[in-house]
Structure 1
Amino acid sequence: MPVFRKARDLFTGWLAGYPCWAVIPAFLVLFLWGCAPEEPVLEPEPVDIPPLFAPVDGREVVGIVQKDLQEQGLDSWEDLAPALEKSLDYVRTRDGDQKAVCQPELCLTWSDIKETLELFIQLLPDIDRNPELLKHYFDFYAVNPDVLLTGYYEPELKASREKHDDFRHPVYGRPDNLKSVDLGQFHPRWKDQRLYYRLENGEIKPYYSRGEIELEDALAGRDLEIAWVKDPIDLFFLHIQGSGRLKYPGGDYKHVLYADRNGHQYVALGRVLVDLGFLEQDEVSMQSIRAVLQENPDIKHELMAKNPSYIFFHLDDQGPRGSTGQILTPWVSVASDPEVIPWGSVMIMDAELPEYQGQKTHIQGPVTAQDTGGAIRGRHLDFFCGFGERAEYIAGKMSDRADIFFMVRKYGKN
């Protein structure tokens, strides 16, 4: 029987080298264990998992959307056109016949998403006058269950082009010895997975972790520094956000954008701080994590190293850019898991955002998927809040559920 074989392997490995008088009692135990009646295996109770997409009446969605999109920083629906054109530019690079998403209740090709975007952009001036057009030209599918909505923003860091006493923490560009390979070419089960590594004496090794880079200076002396920043905690949050702005002493700016990653799994520092007793679960936010790091200067680097994932950057005059390569639009662009919500998709979002300085923000309008992130998996969207103090505050506090309605063009409607 399988249990006996597993036990035998364990015992024989453990008993190797022991004298016969010690082995015999052990084999008696093994024999009796193997001959004992097997306990019945209890089948787990089935769990009802709701379908990813559920069709909803277009009238419900029209009742949600706001004719006034000022909460999203837009004066009209027509102002959405630049963001949607960026999504369309990306979708046009994909093979139209390939499946973009395929679930039992909804299966779309990239052509379906392209045609949805094209029609939506064409109708924007008319939707300003008549939002009812949405239910006439589009079908809507609720993403089930409620989607986890978090936020991200474009942080600003004080930086220098040269290292000196006030600016001692490097922003690294992509190292030449960072290698990666698409595992999907070896087996379909590894589709869209990459292995990141380095070669050492001809052997494949995991690339350096955050701890090795920041605590052991694994990359020092390789001329990889593209800037130096003042605050290591700010640098840590730059890694979490994936891009930002560097403000130099003379007042000029540069965008610092994602170039690559070390391939280590992302570990949420908030969860680590809860496990270590620094925070309660309901206290976790970007602001509370920052406070713990500031209050514990002697161990802040060790705490940050609990997240082994590390990001490499490059400088640009424009940004930030999402995973589609397009510049993101505040309060419109979202990061998604592309296996669930394909990039370029258009959705209607109904979400209450954290209150800022006594002001509530309720988003009830269109968003489009243009980015992703290491922590974005499954039914999870990350809402791009832009730049500045308000964006930083709302993004840092945002972690709630939102109603998301996937938009698909109705065919036969022109």
Structure 2
Amino acid sequence: MSILPTNRTPRRPLFRLVSLASLVVFAGCSVTEIDQSNDFANNGRDATALKRDTLYLKESLPPGLPMPDESFQAGLQQHIAYLNKISDKTFLLENTQTSVADLKQVAQEIGQWLVDPTKQPQLIAHQLAGQDQRGNVQITGYYVPILPVRHLPDEVYRYPLYRKPTQRDAEGNFPSREDIDFNSALAGQGLEIAYTASLVDNFFLHVQGSGVVEYEDGERKLLSWGGVNGHAYRSLGKELIERGEIDRADISAQSIRQWLKDHPERNREMLSTNPSYLFFSEGPEKPVGAANVPLTPLYSAAVDPSVIPLGSILLAQVPKLDAYGNLMGHEFRLLLAQDKGGAIKGPGHIDWYQGIGEEAHVHAGQLKHFGKVWLLLPKHPAPAKLIAQ
């Protein structure tokens, strides 16, 4: 989930001769094709798009790509370094097949194009089916918060952030959120990394997957994803919509936080509806994704690797929002598939990384709209070498 600043014009990338389809979007949508919680006015969904039965629809690459800024080039080098570390293998994506070698070729061709834009990459765009089989992919945002903490608990800072435990119950399971946060199921195991002033802050840190904590002495550490308890993820926003507590058009990180602030007596009830619980590890200075490379603000994305392999480069039609979180249109952007998340499942959702701190929080909090996503693959793919695992 995400938020836009109240006094800042949304940043726009530099484009170079992008001859693409019209950016006009249609507000109409059908609750039979998308989740009801995403069916709100001006959600960016193109309900008139062609319906298809396959995961990917092969399309010609537009004559121009959106030219990224310099930060993308640094992210691309990390991307290539990741691809160079993993063994070649084939990815079978329903009706589409690719490989690590193909993904390397895409990255190299885009790298050459950045150096000499007259050399157009020889690529094919494969459009993802989306949530509705019409190509509409919900694009949410995530960020890395900065959270004040203490090394030791006191009367205010008394809610622990935990490392992953080693002890499981007789059935081989870790405790649920309810048991951990409200029944002290992990107390006494020496797993505490730091203590915060709010279980709600902890909950949102779990949803984001990583964050920077700042101790009382000014020391900062990055807490990265350290595993989960294995319980199914349940969206708190969806729960509040279904209970009639927040209208689906108004759901955002801000509105959820405000609801929890206004209903402290119901915090345990609502937070516990999501039994999934995230553990942390004290990681490197820069946030890293599941591909174990530093994330690049506004260019990295979290995906479901079963439909978009880590190491892919995507062309995405991402939502442009005004200062109030209203959709103004879409813009095209290259994205690096470098992360994954427990809530990112299937072809209907990607999470777009916005950066560190409050400004990124503002950008991320209101993003919940639909766009379109294309997997970029070589026009002349490399021969398959290994069978997918």
User: Alignment partner for residue 91 of structure 1, among 83, 94, 103?
Assistant: 83
Alignment partner, residue 66 of structure 1: 66
Alignment partner, residue 126 of structure 2: 141
Aligned AA (1:385): Q
Are 2:137 and 2:373, in contact at CA under 8 Å, matched by a contact in 1? yes
Q: How many residues align?
A: 326
CA distance in 1, matches of 2:225, 2:381: 42
Alignment partner, residue 375 of structure 2: 406
Distance 1:327 1:55, change over 3 A: same
Alignment partner, residue 363 of structure 2: 394
Q: Structure 2 regions of 5+ residues with no counterpart?
A: 1-50, 130-134, 383-389
Are 1:151 and 1:396, in contact at CA under 8 Å, matched by a contact in 2? yes
- Does 1:208 pair with 2:175? yes
Aligned AA (2:149): A
Q: Relative CO higher for 1 or 2, CA cutoff 8 Å, sep ≥ 6?
A: 2
Alignment partner, residue 237 of structure 1: 204
Are 1:353 and 1:394, in contact at CA under 8 Å, matched by a contact in 2? no
Are 2:66 and 2:334, in contact at CA under 8 Å, matched by a contact in 1? no
Distance 1:123 1:352, change over 3 A: same
**1:115 is paired with a residue of what secondary structure?**
helix
Larger Rg: 1
Distance 1:301 1:66, change over 3 A: same
Are 1:356 and 1:393, in contact at CA under 8 Å, matched by a contact in 2? no
Q: TM-score, with normalisation over the residues of structure 2? A: 0.78
Q: Deviations over 1:218-243 (max 9, x none)?
A: 01111110101112211110000000
Q: Deviations over 1:335-388 (max 9, x none)?
A: 001111100100111212332379979542211101111110112110001112
1:2-401 maps to which residues of 2 (within 5 A)? Answer: 49-58=52-61, 60=62, 62=64, 65-67=65-67, 69=68, 74=69, 76=70, 79-96=71-88, 98-104=89-95, 106-127=96-117, 130=118, 133-134=119-120, 136-144=121-129, 145-177=135-167, 198-200=168-170, 204-356=171-323, 363-379=331-347, 380-401=349-370
Distance 1:220 1:87, change over 3 A: same
Q: 1:87 Cα deviation (Å)? A: 2.0
Distance 1:167 1:240, change over 3 A: same
Are 1:81 and 1:121, in contact at CA under 8 Å, matched by a contact in 2? yes
Aligned AA (2:123): F
Q: 1:199 Cα deviation (Å)? A: 4.0
Distance 1:318 1:119, change over 3 A: same
Over aligned residue pairs, what C-alpha RMSD do you find? 2.3
Alignment partner, residue 10 of structure 2: none
Q: 1:147 Cα deviation (Å)? A: 1.6
Are 1:355 and 1:361, in contact at CA under 8 Å, matched by a contact in 2? no
Q: Deviations over 1:317-348 (max 9, x none)?
A: 41311111111111010000111110010011
Q: 1:214 Cα deviation (Å)? A: 0.8
Q: 1:162 Cα deviation (Å)? A: 1.2
**2:157 is paired with a residue of what secondary structure?**
coil
* Segment of structure 1 superposing worse, 161-170 or 85-94: 85-94
Q: Deviations over 1:152-183 (max 9, x none)?
A: 11111110111112211001111121xxxxxx
Q: Deviations over 1:126-160 (max 9, x none)?
A: 12xx4xx43x5222222231221111111111101
CA distance in 1, matches of 2:255, 2:204: 13
CA distance in 2, matches of 1:241, 1:361: 26
Q: Deviations over 1:177-202 (max 9, x none)?
A: 1xxxxxxxxxxxxxxxxxxxx243xx
Are 1:353 and 1:398, in contact at CA under 8 Å, matched by a contact in 2? no
**1:298 is paired with a residue of what secondary structure?**
helix
**2:297 is paired with a residue of what secondary structure?**
coil
Are 1:257 and 1:319, in contact at CA under 8 Å, matched by a contact in 2? no
Q: TM-score, with normalisation over the residues of structure 1? A: 0.74
CA distance in 1, matches of 2:263, 2:325: 31
CA distance in 1, matches of 2:262, 2:294: 36
